[in-house]
Amino acid sequence: AQKVTQAQTEISVVEKEDVTLDCVYETRDTTYYLFWYKQPPSGELVFLIRRNSFDEQNEISGRYSWNFQKSTSSFNFTITASQVVDSAVYFCALSEAPGTGFQKLVFGTGTRLLVSP
C-alpha cells in the first residue's frame, strides 16, 4: 500500500528564514508521481509541483525548491527567505502512474507553516 508521511505537524519561523518541509513516501510501484499542494488559510488547494519517479533532478522555482531522493524515499520542499504569505498547510501526495488522471492521490497529513513578521 502507498503511504506518505509528513512528520512535521507544525513549523514556526520568522520571516526571511529558510525552511524545509519533509516528505517520506512508501510505494511498491516502480513508476509513481509525487506532488506538493499548498492550502492557504482561505482553504483552497494550490498545486505546486509534480515529479515523476524517473526524474531525480532537483527543481527550483523562485524561492521554492524540491529535493527528490529515491534512495531515501524522500521528496522535501524548501522555501528560501520565507514570507508571511507562505503561511499555509502544505501537503505532499503520491500517485500511481498516469493514465488514471491522478485521481487516486494518497496525501500526507500536512505540515502547517507559520511565518511571523
Partner 1 sequence: NAGVTQTPKFQVLKTGQSMTLQCAQDMNHEYMSWYRQDPGMGLRLIHYSVGAGITDQGEVPNGYNVSRSTTEDFPLRLLSAAPSQTSVYFCASSSVGTNEKLFFGSGTQLSVL
Site for partner 1 contains 35 (CB under 8 A): yes
Q: Which stretch binds partner 1 (CB under 8 A): 22-30, 66-74, 77-85, 99-107?
A: 99-107
Taking the least distance from each CB to partner 1, the nearer of 82 and 90 is 90
Min. distance of Cβ 97 from partner 1 in angstroms? 10
Q: Pick the piece of the chain touching partner 1 (CB under 8 A) from 12-20, 23-31, 43-51, 75-83.
A: 43-51
| Complex with partner 1: residue 54 or 117, whichever CB lies closer | 54
Query: Cα separation of 53 and 111, whole Å?
Result: 23
CB contact set of 4 (below 8 Å; sequence gap of 6+): 23, 24, 25, 26, 92, 93, 94, 106, 107, 108
The answer to whether 40 touches 17, Cβ cutoff 8 Å, is no
Distance CA 57, CA 40 (A): 27
For position 3 contacting partner 1 by CB under 8 A, the verdict is no
Asked if 109 touches partner 1 (CB under 8 A), the answer is yes
